[in-house]
Amino acid sequence: MGYITVDELETYAPDALITTGKEQTMINRASILIDEYLHRSIGITTYKERMKLTSGGSHLTYLPVVSLTSVKARYDIRSNPLYFGLAISQPTWEDIDPTIIDLDNNTGVFLILQANLNMMSLIFQITNNYDEADVTYTAGYEVIPEKVKYACGQLITNMTMRPNVMATSEQLPNGLKVAYSSTSLFTPEIVALLSDFEAFTFR
C-alpha cells in the first residue's frame, strides 16, 4: 500500500531524512495516518451504508462513487397515513434494479426513480417512494490525486524531522533551539491539501 512509491519520494518528499531501507515503512505509515485523518481510504474501496430515504433518494458518504454493487430498499408502513398501528409485519427488503437509479458519481446523490410495486406496496402505500435503503458500492480514486501525494510527502518529511512529535521544543546541532506551536504532524498545508477528500456523513 502507500499513496506514493519509493521512486516518487524525490518528487514529493525531497527534504525527508529517511534511513536507507525504511522508505516503504515511512510511506505506509504516512498513508495510514492520512486514512485515519480522512476517515476513509483514497484508493478504491467497497463500502456498505444503510440510510433513510427522502422522496426515494439520499446521499452516499464516500466519493467519487465508482459503481453500485447492490441496492436493496423497503417501505416503512408506519410512515403511511393509512397505517393505524395494526399488527402487520414490516415489508421485506427488495432488490433494486440499478437501471432505475439516478446516480451522480461525483456528489453521491442518488434517486430511485420508481418502485417495484408488489402486493405490500399496493396495499400499504399511497406513493411509490421507498423509505430506507441498504447500499453496497465502491468509491475512491484509481489514480491517486496529486494533492494526496504532496500531502503524503510532506507528512513523511514532518515525521523524519520530528521523531518525537510530542516534544514542544528541540535543540538543534548548531546550538539553536526551535519551539513548536503544535504536536500534530498535520500542518495547515497538509490539511488544505486533503480538504477535498475528507468523508462527511449526512446521517
Residues 134-161, mean pLDDT to the nearest whole number? 95
Which pTM value belongs to this model? 0.78
Residues 93-107 have pLDDT tens digits of 889 988 889 999 999
Grade residue 25 by pLDDT with cuts at 50, 70 and 90: very high
Q: Is 118 domain-assigned?
A: yes
Q: Is the pLDDT of residue 136 over 50?
A: yes
Grade residue 56 by pLDDT with cuts at 50, 70 and 90: confident
Q: Is 201 domain-assigned?
A: no
**pLDDT at residue 200, rounded to an integer:** 77
- Looking at 139, 155, 185, the residue that finishes a domain is 139
Q: Is 190 domain-assigned?
A: yes
Please choose, from the candidates 57, 1, 7, 51, the residue with its C-alpha nearest in 3D space to the C-alpha of residue 30. Answer: 1
Q: Is 114 domain-assigned?
A: yes
Q: Are residues 120 and 37 in the same domain?
A: no
Please count the structural domains in the chain.
2
Q: Is the pLDDT of residue 178 over 60?
A: no
Q: Is the pLDDT of residue 124 over 50?
A: no
Domain that holds residue 110: 45-139
Q: Is 31 domain-assigned?
A: yes
**pLDDT at residue 196, rounded to an integer:** 93
Q: Are residues 132 and 158 in the same domain?
A: no
User: How much is the mean pLDDT over the chain?
Assistant: 82
**pLDDT at residue 60, rounded to an integer:** 95
Q: Are residues 74 and 116 in the same domain?
A: yes
Please choose, from the candidates 131, 136, 132, 95, the residue with its C-alpha nearest in 3D space to the C-alpha of residue 116. Answer: 95
**pLDDT at residue 126, rounded to an integer:** 46
Q: Are residues 55 and 132 in the same domain?
A: yes
Rounded Cα distance, 75 and 78, in Å: 9
Q: Are residues 125 and 60 in the same domain?
A: yes
Grade residue 137 by pLDDT with cuts at 50, 70 and 90: very high
- Looking at 139, 158, 180, the residue that finishes a domain is 139
Long-range (24+ apart) CB contacts under 8 A made by 6-11 are 8/149, 8/153, 9/153, 9/156, 11/153
Q: Is the pLDDT of residue 134 over 80?
A: yes
Q: Are residues 61 and 127 in the same domain?
A: yes
105: phi then psi, degrees, rounded to nearest 5: -65, -30
Q: Are residues 24 and 101 in the same domain?
A: no
- Looking at 139, 167, 183, the residue that finishes a domain is 139
Q: Are residues 50 and 135 in the same domain?
A: yes
Q: Provide, rounded to the nearest whole percent, the portion of the chain with pLDDT above 70.
A: 73
Q: Is 199 domain-assigned?
A: no
Q: Are residues 69 and 131 in the same domain?
A: yes
Q: Are residues 56 and 122 in the same domain?
A: yes
Grade residue 75 by pLDDT with cuts at 50, 70 and 90: confident
Q: Are residues 128 and 50 in the same domain?
A: yes
Residue with cell 451522480: 104
Could you give the count of Cα atoms lying within 13 Å of 141 in the half-sphere of its Cβ? Answer: 13
Residues 10-38, mean pLDDT to the nearest whole number? 94
Q: Are residues 97 and 126 in the same domain?
A: yes
